[in-house]
Copies of this chain bind each other. A is one copy, B any other.
């Protein structure tokens, strides 16, 4: 029998992920602070809960896909929070990007309720979410992760098991650090080349023809060429993830010189008011420092 899914957090990622669960035949009840975001899902058959607790009561697998720890704490432990309905028969899967430290704290908070906690952030942004092609970075009890694979594969193309709860978030730090570095490096190199008189298309052809080619560069190149940055992955979220990376590196004593440099730059992008644009708008931070 199919799991009954409760899904909270209907942003850029949450809507297509919930839609893919519906498509795979799961009964889904959704909750979002602004309920109008749930309408397209309701049209496809989702239920709309009036508060997180009602959603959690109706489901046996509760999924959260929100913007960070504050939103999550609120949905879990605020008035009519989902946490109030958790018990031994339910599974809670956090797919939001948070720090490993926060995830370990959350695991401790959830322990009393008896709920099975799975920490499963994703690699991939808007397009893979729509295509059901996310990579799911799942952590928690390995047998439960295994048992839930059909649920994950409704949203993604692959599940990578990362270890105990907290290690999914750790894997997300790892992969988003790499993302943040590559995005900034791409923008910094293109900006240098432009100031040095190179043609944008020739630069892109050089990258695409060589060992540094990457699907991410293919996707971001048109935005950088046109200086238009509609968000597939908002810059402010990457800034937040870079902060989690730096926090984690500090805890571990891990050397993270470039993580520090790029955190500073993405945060400057948010400060300039570009946080809701795509991560590729980091190019604007560099241009802001260019010769006039």
Question: Contacts A253-B270, A260-B260 known; A212 to B174 CB distance under 8 Å?
Answer: no
- Name the interface residues of A241-263: CB closer than 8 Å to any CB of B: 243, 245-246, 248-250, 252-263
Give chain A interface residues in 187-236, CB to chain B under 8 Å: 188-193, 195-199, 202-203, 205-207, 209-216, 219
Q: Is A140 an interface residue (CB 8 A)?
A: no
Find out whether the CB atom of B210 lies under 8 angstroms from the CB atom of A175. yes
Q: A271 on the interface (CB 8 Å rule)?
A: yes
- In the assembled complex, the CB of A20 is this many whole angstroms from the nearest CB of chain B, namely 17
Query: Is A100 interfacial (CB 8 A cutoff)?
Result: yes
Do A264 and B256 touch across chains, with their CB atoms under 8 A apart? yes
Q: Looking at the complex, which one of B125, B175, B206, B257 makes contact with A175 (CB distance below 8 Å)? A: B206
Q: Complex: how many Å from CA A258 to CA B207?
A: 18
Interface-facing stretch out of A1-9, A25-33, A48-56, A284-292? A284-292
Query: Which single residue of chain B is at the shortest CB-CB distance from A170?
Result: B196
Q: Is the CB of B174 within 8 A of A137?
A: no
Chain B contacts for A128, CB-based, 8 A: 211
Chain B binder among A10-18, A38-46, A80-88, A177-185: A177-185
Q: Bin the interface of chain A by size.
A: 35 or more
A117-129 interface code vs B (CB 8 A; 1 in, 0 out): 0000001110010
| A256–B192 touching, CB < 8 Å | yes
* Residues in chain B near residue A203, CB distance under 8 A: 171, 174
Cβ contact within 8 Å between A192 and B173? yes
Give chain B nearest CB distance to A161 CB in angstroms: 7
The one of B174, B184, B206, B219 in contact with A189, judged by C-beta atoms closer than 8 angstroms, is B174
Residue in contact with A248 in the complex, picked from B158, B161, B192, B253, CB distance below 8 Å: B192
Bound CA–CA A290/B285 (angstroms): 11
- The answer to whether the Cβ of A163 comes within 8 Å of any Cβ in the partner chain is yes
Cα separation A33 to B167 with both chains bound (whole Å): 34
8 other A-B residue contacts (CB within 8 Å) besides A212-B214, A252-B291, A288-B289: A160-B209, A173-B193, A174-B203, A178-B212, A184-B258, A253-B268, A261-B261, A289-B289
Nearest residue in B to A180 (C-beta to C-beta)? B185
Given contacts A163-B199, A257-B257, A258-B188, contact A271 B248 (CB under 8 A): no
Contact: A162 with B202, CB < 8 Å? Answer: yes
Query: What is the CB-to-nearest-CB distance from A42 to chain B, in angstroms, rounded to a whole number?
Result: 31
Instruction: Judge whether A186 is part of the interface by a CB distance below 8 angstroms.
Output: yes
Bound together, the chains give a CA A225 to CA B163 distance in angstroms of 19
CA distance A292 to B174 in the complex (A): 21
Write out the residue numbers on chain B whose beta carbons fall within 8 Å of the beta carbon of A263.
250, 260
B181→A193 contact, CB < 8 A: no
Q: Is A71 an interface residue (CB 8 A)?
A: no
